[in-house]
Chain A
Amino acid sequence: MGIIKAKDLVYEYIRRDEDGNVEGINTAVDHVSLDIKQGQFIAILGHNGSGKSTLAKHMNAILNPTEGTLWVDGMDTNEEKNIWNIRQTAGMVFQNPDNQIIGQVVEEDVGFGPENMGIPTKEIWERVEESLRAVGMYEFRKHSPNKLSGGQKQRISIAGVLAMHPKCIVLDEPTAMLDPSGRKEVIRAVRGLNDVEGITVILITHYMDEIIHADKVFVMDKGKIAMEGTPREIFSQVEKLQELRLDVPQVTLLAHELKKQGVKLPDGILTTKELIAALGI
């Protein structure tokens, strides 16, 4: 069994009217099964309302499935006694950088998780230093988070999760509120964690260019997993992606159009370099 495994996961949002009668049921996650191995870089893709955030919240036991089961490192999220171990194993980074920083000083915020876990003071300091170094924010440790840029704040949030020594980090659209340079910063930090520290990364996003480096991509639509495969496999199906209202990276689209016009090119070109090489320019 992998680090995260879901079996027939269903989650329903129940809408009620003022008297508490059920008005309608929204199935946000609809019979999703997946198995994620330790050390992988996973991207979950989907447009707004596809259920990707709801799925992510299950991995941290913030939401409990209506039906089906989700295991984090072998622990069932439905069982109350597992909840804190699960949150320690699978850390979570959210979308809005301002709404997840608790401390008034960077280092205090990073220390918040370990403090909650009851780690001895000396070890908290070691963990804070090591996590801040891992995301390249060590020189900002004495700063107030209010004075930092969005990208820097998100890196602090990542460090905050890292200090809890998780096996897996779930990032729920961490770059949605950032400018392009902030996005690059965050993605670079996340890739570093995966490459250097071997932490399983589950990146939820709707930016196509962020998933190029993933080991495996899941595309969600209407609560179901619509596509699954390596980035190359996913990107070779340009028409299907467009059907799911997802944008393909420009290079991939260009290659696809060229191919349609009869130029001989391999499927699923992801970077400009690849296209240049394939065209033999």
Chain B
Amino acid sequence: MLRDITLGQYYQTESVIHKLDPRVKLGGTLLYIVSLFFFKNYLGYVVAALFLGIVIKLSRVPFKFMVRGMKSIIMLLMITVVFNLFLTPGTPLISVWKLTITAEGLKLATTMAIRLVLLIIGSSVMTLTTTPNNLTDGMEKMMRPLKIFKVPVHEVAMMMSIALRFIPILLEETDKIMKAQIARGADFESGNLIKRAKALVPLLVPLFISAFRRANDLAMAMEARCYRGGEGRTKMKPLVYKKRDYLGYGFVVIYLVVGIFVGRL
């Protein structure tokens, strides 16, 4: 049952967006998200939606996968909308009992909802078209300047990719331990919250022990293969900008210029 959880949400297909350098996608997404907070009128959001639409079309990922990402934030979205709708002071539009909807509130609620939806879909386009591995690679390279401030960029990236590699293994192990405990009469499913939390102890203890053991083995195996940190290391798949990556950046810049011009009229 635990094996069904998919990690990351990479959607495998061939497209221009998939082939883009992860740095372009990371940078582009970041700029896109920031841009959403700069618009002063709805026209800006139309531009943003249009831009996103083109990217989704190019990525060849079915639209329903983008919507799937929305499910997890639907509660957050509702709460944001409701709070903004009823709690913004201003000129009242409709008043029912103690609740008042103001014109400002209505405007704010709509803007917030649009922003959130575009933000979530925008970032899921990135995660859907980039493998987690590529993403860590991109982050490592983008954050390289931070090395001056003694930020262990390579180590963090290495940790992230190892974590990604071991998540399915540990999930499988959890499943195994769980079954073993169930076979010996453990009950994970009934009782109140506290009882259930307590029932997890015999699951977590062996899991942690095994994780530490694995970490120890892995460290030894890495050292045996001459791993000694990021110094003097070469890359099998180095990130090199190609023509399409510059075009990608160009596309993002055009969007920003148009968006800010239109959105701040």
**A binding-site residues for B, Cβ under 8 Å:** 60, 62, 84, 87-88, 91-92, 94, 96, 98-105, 107-108, 111-121, 124-125, 128, 145-146, 160-161, 164
Interface assignment of B6: CB less than 8 Å from any CB of chain A: no
Pair B217/A99 contact, Cβ less than 8 Å: yes
Hey, which chain A residues are within 8 Å of B235, CB to CB?
Answer: 115, 121
Closest-CB distance, B7 to chain A (whole angstroms): 11
B236 in contact with A124 (CB, 8 Å): yes
Question: Do B220 and A115 touch across chains, with their CB atoms under 8 A apart?
Answer: no
In contact, A87 and B225 (Cβ under 8 angstroms): yes
Nearest 3 Cβ contacts at the A-B interface = A100-B221, A99-B217, A111-B236
One digit per residue, 1 when the CB lies within 8 angstroms of any chain A CB and 0 when it does not, for chain B 102-142 equals: 00000000000000000000000000000111000000000
The A-B contact count (CB < 8 A) is 88
Interface residues of B in 145-198 (CB under 8 A from A): 161-162, 164-165, 168-169
- A92-B133 in contact given A121-B235, A146-B169 (Cβ < 8 Å): no
Contact with B222, one of A84, A102, A119 (Cβ below 8 angstroms): A102
Nearest to B172 among chain A residues (CB) is: A146
Say whether B98 faces chain A, with CB atoms less than 8 Å apart: no
* A116 close to B217 (CB less than 8 A): no
User: What is the interface residue range for chain B against chain A?
Assistant: 20 to 34
Identify the interface centre among B218, B226, B233: most chain A CB within 10 Å of its CB: B226
Let me know if B228 and A116 touch, CB within 8 A. Answer: yes
User: With A and B bound together, what is the CA distance between A164 and B224 in angstroms?
Assistant: 11
User: Which of A92, A108, A115 contacts B224 (CB under 8 A)?
Assistant: A92
Alpha-carbon distance A108/B236, docked complex (angstroms): 7
> Chain B: which residue is nearest A95 at the CB level?
B217
CB of B144 closer than 8 Å to a CB of A: no
Report yes or no: A94 in contact with B169, Cβ–Cβ below 8 A.
no
A99 contact from B168, B221, B233, B237, Cβ within 8 A: B221
* Chain A residues whose C-beta falls within 8 Å of the C-beta of B218 in the assembled complex: 99-100, 102
Residues of B contacting A88 with CB < 8 Å?
226
The answer to whether B62 has its CB under 8 Å from any CB of chain A is: no
Instruction: Tell me how far the C-beta of A254 lies from the nearest C-beta in chain B, rounded to whole angstroms.
Output: 39
A145 to B238, CA, bound (A): 21
Look across to chain B and name the residue whose beta carbon is closest to the beta carbon of A147: B168
Instruction: Tell me how far the C-beta of B222 lies from the nearest C-beta in chain A, rounded to whole angstroms.
Output: 6
Instruction: Kindly state the separation between the CA atoms of A147 and B175 in the bound complex, as whole angstroms.
Output: 17
Q: Is the CB of A91 within 8 A of B225?
A: yes
Distance in angstroms from B163 CB to nearest chain A CB is 11
A-B contacts besides A102-B165, A121-B237, 6 pairs, CB < 8 Å:
A96-B214, A102-B218, A104-B161, A111-B236, A114-B236, A116-B228
Point out the residues of chain B lying under 8 angstroms from A101, CB to CB: 165
Contact check, A102 vs B162: say whether CB atoms are below 8 A apart.
Answer: yes
Q: Is B227 an interface residue (CB 8 A)?
A: yes
Closest to A57 in B: B220
Which residues from chain A contact B72 at a C-beta distance below 8 Å? none
Chain A nearest Cβ from B78, distance in angstroms: 37
A125: chain B residues at CB < 8 Å are 236
